[in-house]
């Protein structure tokens, strides 16, 4: 069992199915990397800002037990213990 899960965020954006898939990844893993594809970020100039907004929305929907970090167009989410 790997420690890092990989998911791609595409043109459908943050759907309920995406959040459920993300939660299922955290049942087996501590870290998940989300690649934000070009189709998910429409405007190339504001691409980094869109990735930041996605990271904020994901963390908001997952709860306080998670920490996010943005590296380029990749969102790394780490599950922290409390």
Give 54-76 pLDDT, tens digit per residue.
999 999 999 889 999 999 999 99
pLDDT band, residue 82 (cuts 50/70/90): low
Q: What is the pLDDT of residue 40?
A: 84
Tell me: pLDDT of 34 over 90: yes
Dist. CA 17–CA 14, nearest whole Å: 8
The whole model's pTM is what? Answer: 0.87
Evaluate whether 32 touches 26 at the Cβ level (below 8 Å). Answer: yes
| CATH number for the domain that contains residue 15 | 3.30.110.60
Range of the domain at 37: 4-79
Q: Number of structural domains, the chain?
A: 1
């Amino acid at each position: 069992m790997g420690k890092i899960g990989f998911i791609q965020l595409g043109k459908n954006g943050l759907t309920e199915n995406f959040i459920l898939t993300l939660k299922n990844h955290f049942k087996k893993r501590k870290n998940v990397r989300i690649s934000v594809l070009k189709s998910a970020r429409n405007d190339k100039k504001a691409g980094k800002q869109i990735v930041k907004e996605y990271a904020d929305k994901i963390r908001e929907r997952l709860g306080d037990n998670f920490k996010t970090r943005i590296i380029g167009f990749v969102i790394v989410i780490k599950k922290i213990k409390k």
